[in-house]
Structure 1
């Protein structure tokens, strides 16, 4: 069952969208049953693979839904082709066809997201950042002793964060929030495919469309400075760090005692100074928070340094900040 209640705007998915999403879900089940697997690489590696002469046209289903290569109509079963074409997922491409969705593997999960190249404003990104984010989340969930009753995945994209929480804590209420309706649709499909019933996709700008406090807040937001302002990629000012700082500021005020924010993002460095840490650290100066900050990869998206936006940057690191609100102490309690 697809679960996608939306908060105010945009309006709930129409019948055409729901029909298309059902076709995508049915395709995912067939791919899963066939043993389909695909690891999504960086855009540059993807480009290099597809540029090889032998890879210009798809030869099998993995080429279609993994490598996003143009394909002949006969390569897909007629039922799949007709359902996806009528839903607008397939489009004509230079005498062949191309898919606007991809399917990627994450451990035993299979997740739908946007095809390569992700250029549309409503594209849903999945890639190496997703794998690093998932690893950090799994480590936290394994080591966590505090209960999780309510959790939220901010800027959920394909829903990876919400699904990992939902599977690890089946009694928890898990929200997957995003401003991108396509992300909410794909999250609902992915939750249904994974059989995770405690995840709800909800429209919200960060936490503005939600109520109450949370035991766990996770986020893997866009962190590049994108001159086109594409939602899946643009992190705003501060060389793309502004959105992550906004998320941290809102999330810290919505943590329950003992609750944790797990934020995976990018940190641009200028003259040796980490711009994200400079902006977020003052938020953590107040008593009542315990936090940890670490670089998971010291050098990502190095090609961006050639662009005018990053002419002052030395590097971009992938970082993880973990912030826990300390339990309240009663008068007379001794600090622990």
Structure 2
């Protein structure tokens, strides 16, 4: 890793030692909390590294501020400073990711869907008796899913792939923080740049219709499902015998109908995969229903598809 990456690892390790913990919420909730009286400035570690609030000199201990500067992750705004990274807690680990608000084209998002996706992958492994020799997290972001798999299958080679170089950087840092030495971040457009078959494929691709076109958020296509369906197509081709796909996504429900489920059914018809599909949460991102791109949706649901190839 670069010196800046090593500084992020040391910073995360020190935060762990000091008992730092933060659960990342949705952007809408984050903004509401930060807009409350008294929350304009950071006063402690969670304000700086969780809530992404500006801070003045003296709020951060000199060692932490020095590491933030070594990492190139502090921005100065007059008398104020602001961390350009956040640290969030999941599965007793810390994960570095982009500061709020995540508006940059290469922003790396971590939030409620990350928890849900990694939980779904962990539940799959808890129920699985067959070995996992090779696994891949497609569109890995922070690497949370890949790291969750590696912790539960320490003998497996786990690829963490993304097209976002910032995501791959953070995945490397997070794997080092977690001590998961068999997580291998690498650049690949879906599975086109990595060889072979996989015993486990997990993914939480972007699935929103995003007018700003942000990489971590915009799923492409009229319904935001273009990338989700591309992941499914890749998995159909590259899942090993006895392998499992865990695909976490979202869908706008229109007039009581789920267009993503219909698209899954069409693609899976005629394959050898057995599959199950369920709504994880029937009503998320409700603020998006006020936007033009979701004017036809009555709700947005997050869903998980699990597909298994027979041995």
Is this a same-fold pair by TM over 0.5?
A: yes
1:218 aligns with 2:202: yes
Q: Which residue of the partner structure matches residue 307 of structure 1?
A: 291
Runs of 4+ in 1 over 6 A off after TM superposition: none
Q: Is the 8 A contact 2:85 2:96 kept in 1?
A: yes
* Aligned match of 2:151: 167
Q: Is residue 296 from structure 1 mapped to residue 280 from structure 2 by the alignment?
A: yes
* 1:36-60 C-alpha deviation (Å, 9 max, x unpaired): 1001111111111111121110111
TM-score of the pair, normalised by structure 1: 0.90
Deviations 1:269-298 (A, max 9, x none): 122221211222112111411000000000
Q: Name the CA distance, whole Å, in 2 between partners of 1:292 and 1:196.
A: 30
Query: What is the deviation of 1:79?
Result: 3.2
Q: Which of these residues, 223, 236, 240, is aligned with residue 256 of structure 1?
A: 240
In the alignment, which residue of structure 2 is the partner of 1:113? 97
Unaligned runs of 5+ in 2: none
Q: How does 1:104-183 map to 2 (within 5 A)?
A: 104-183=88-167
Output the CA distance in 1 between the equivalents of 2:260 and 2:130: 28
Where 1:53 maps in the other structure, the secondary structure is: coil
CA distance in 2, matches of 1:39, 1:277: 30
Q: TM-score, normalised by structure 2?
A: 0.97
Q: Which of 59-68 and 264-273 deviates more?
A: 264-273
Moved more, 238-247 or 191-200: 238-247
Q: Distance in 2 between matches of 1:291 and 1:191?
A: 30
Question: How far apart, CA to CA, are the structure 2 residues paired with 1:241 and 1:207?
Answer: 18
Q: What's the CA shift for 1:95?
A: 2.5
Shift, 1:81, TM fit: 1.9
- What are structure 1's unaligned runs of at least 5 residues? 3-17, 328-336
Task: Please give the per-residue CA displacement for 1:180-238, whole angstroms capped at 9, x wherever unaligned.
Answer: 00100101101001111110000011111110000000001111011121101100113
